[in-house]
Structure 1
């Protein structure tokens, strides 16, 4: 099957300003996880603040477990971070009634333990607040006036909250596997099923958002939209959207949402529901597979606003830094500036 590729998704702010080299080396993509909670400094769990360079999160978790002499399932983290990057993130290790090893003696290529502190609970997936990014785009020259104009538009209007290409795997492998699974050709191991459900949901969401961007509806409030508060998962259903809610939407306190497909009712109505249903019907194998798997219907914001966005340009390099809430992808911001 030919999938709608991430590179083909509609841009909200016009054509790319230039072409640039992205992630030429790990130091060009720096991610720092913002936990959003304060460790209790006591408890059964040891929290490690880890810097990794050129290593993936799951591999690091496995090495930490081995060094501490515990099962891999006793190591948790908030989310997966890019391998081709410098990333700093938290891991938790369940060590009831005992101290952890001397972490300063850990000799692991590309891994540095920056801080160790105790905590009362393990880290669950998605429990962090967000991520701070510093990104260097090389060999891309843009007139300063054009760059300022584009950055200003992004700050004011946000960017489409697309799922990034990594959600779908290399050459959309995760989508192909999901299709094979849902059609009965193949079955993944139980601990891998979430990967393919997530890819299927993300693909349908991206299709809906792509349609709304192409038709200039991504930042519009249309009939039947479901709104979500910018800083929480609380939803406002279509029949509850009053004048006060519309004011909050104009102020970006409320954001329109798209579907994360699954079992249950589609909360949108009228025009929004028509768009979502029509596009979902084109991917019936995926939607049927998600429903059969018992994955619950949910919503995701169509727009994300990069915060603390600053930039500088030196010769042919552009460096940008910004903060995104959890679940948002830095590449959704980068693609509104450059091709890579």
Structure 2
């Protein structure tokens, strides 16, 4: 069974110690959807706040209330369970009369706003998430805290997939191993297994780049990723303009999300990525039969970072692009039990 390592940090292990998620209100997530809703159409859009609840569980309850299939409910991304989260759901209207949402009620769930739109909300439609997080039990001088956070504000952090991607004790990686050995899995379990395997190999590639100090700079043969976008392009030559754009975090070095097909990168980068995943032949070959290869930024910009240290509680506020993990930021700030 694959073990999930303590991925190499950008800086030395943090001197700061603390605890996260002491209560749901210590971890707030607010989705950012950057397009206007039309006000008309066959889908109700619900701006919903949930506490201690899974996104998919909420989607099922919304479908049941509306009398529609669960597949007719849309959401842009999965949000943390042990948290207070705010996000949009789309729900297909079963008839022109629509659904009475005033009568919808679940413990810990509130509908904050209603709207309409012509299209279902698709995965990845949001631009990112805003976070407000309490790190409690912090016993470190303000100068230590400020120095570490100033570094993160300027440099960003390695864009690791969070530990939750791999499941408790790496169980999602075991699912992937079972899948590639021929075990049949239900659709949702299969998706979890593939995501875990892909994330695991990506994190190893990123760890190699962090260790050699190239995770935040472009190298010829690189595939650069446009910040906040799925757009990539091959870097044949690193000129001053590309260097400046990378320094400004408009573009980032990219790493492979493993799958079938030839890599778009070349040279030293291609050799590094192949070397990083070579010890995991089973996962590598399994992914090559299941998914097409793509790319993910190696660096995560931490936007609008603010903080306040008050009586051993460090309050943090920041914004991440979609796909970014708050725990990738927190692990560079402090050591904490998950």
RMSD: 1.4
- Residue 209 of structure 2 is aligned to residue 212 of structure 1: yes
Maintained 8 Å contact 1:13/1:153: no
Q: Aligned residue for 1:197?
A: 194
Q: Aligned residue for 2:83?
A: 85
The residue correspondences of 1:135-146 to structure 2 (distance < 5 A) are 135-146=133-144
Unpaired stretches in structure 1, ≥5 consecutive residues? none
C-alpha separation in 2, matches of 1:225 and 1:121:
36
Count of aligned residue pairs for this structure pair: 336
- Residue 323 of structure 2 is aligned to residue 320 of structure 1: no
Q: Aligned residue for 1:150?
A: 148
TM-superposed CA distance for 1:277, in Å, is 0.4
The residue correspondences of 1:252-267 to structure 2 (distance < 5 A) are 252-267=249-264
C-alpha separation in 1, matches of 2:14 and 2:237:
38
TM-superposed CA distance for 1:27, in Å, is 0.5
Q: Aligned residue for 2:121?
A: 123
TM-superposed CA distance for 1:191, in Å, is 4.0
Q: Aligned residue for 1:228?
A: 225
C-alpha separation in 1, matches of 2:294 and 2:235:
15
SS of aligned partner of 2:210: helix
Q: CA, structure 1 residues 158+149, in 2 after alignment: closer, same or farther (shift >3 Å)?
A: same
Maintained 8 Å contact 2:254/2:297: yes
Maintained 8 Å contact 1:228/1:254: yes
C-alpha separation in 1, matches of 2:100 and 2:186:
35
Maintained 8 Å contact 1:47/1:92: yes
Q: Aligned residue for 2:306?
A: 310
153-162 or 281-290, which deviates more: 281-290
314-323 or 105-114, which deviates more: 105-114
C-alpha separation in 2, matches of 1:73 and 1:247:
44
C-alpha separation in 2, matches of 1:63 and 1:13:
44
C-alpha separation in 1, matches of 2:2 and 2:180:
17
C-alpha separation in 2, matches of 1:131 and 1:226:
25
The one of 37, 41, 44 aligned to 1:43: 41
SS of aligned partner of 1:268: coil
Q: Residues 197-243 of structure 1, C-alpha deviation per residue, up to 9 Å, x if partnerless?
A: 11111100000111221222222333422111214222221326444
- Could you list the structure 1 runs, at least 4 aligned residues long, displaced by more than 6 angstroms after superposition: none
Maintained 8 Å contact 1:141/1:315: no
TM-superposed CA distance for 1:73, in Å, is 1.2
* TM-score normalised over the length of structure 1: 0.95
Maintained 8 Å contact 1:135/1:319: yes
12-21 or 85-94, which deviates more: 12-21
C-alpha separation in 2, matches of 1:73 and 1:135:
32
C-alpha separation in 1, matches of 2:192 and 2:97:
34
C-alpha separation in 1, matches of 2:112 and 2:289:
44
11-20 or 222-231, which deviates more: 222-231
* TM-score normalised over the length of structure 2: 0.96
C-alpha separation in 2, matches of 1:267 and 1:91:
36
- Residue 244 of structure 2 is aligned to residue 247 of structure 1: yes
SS of aligned partner of 2:236: helix
Unpaired stretches in structure 2, ≥5 consecutive residues? none
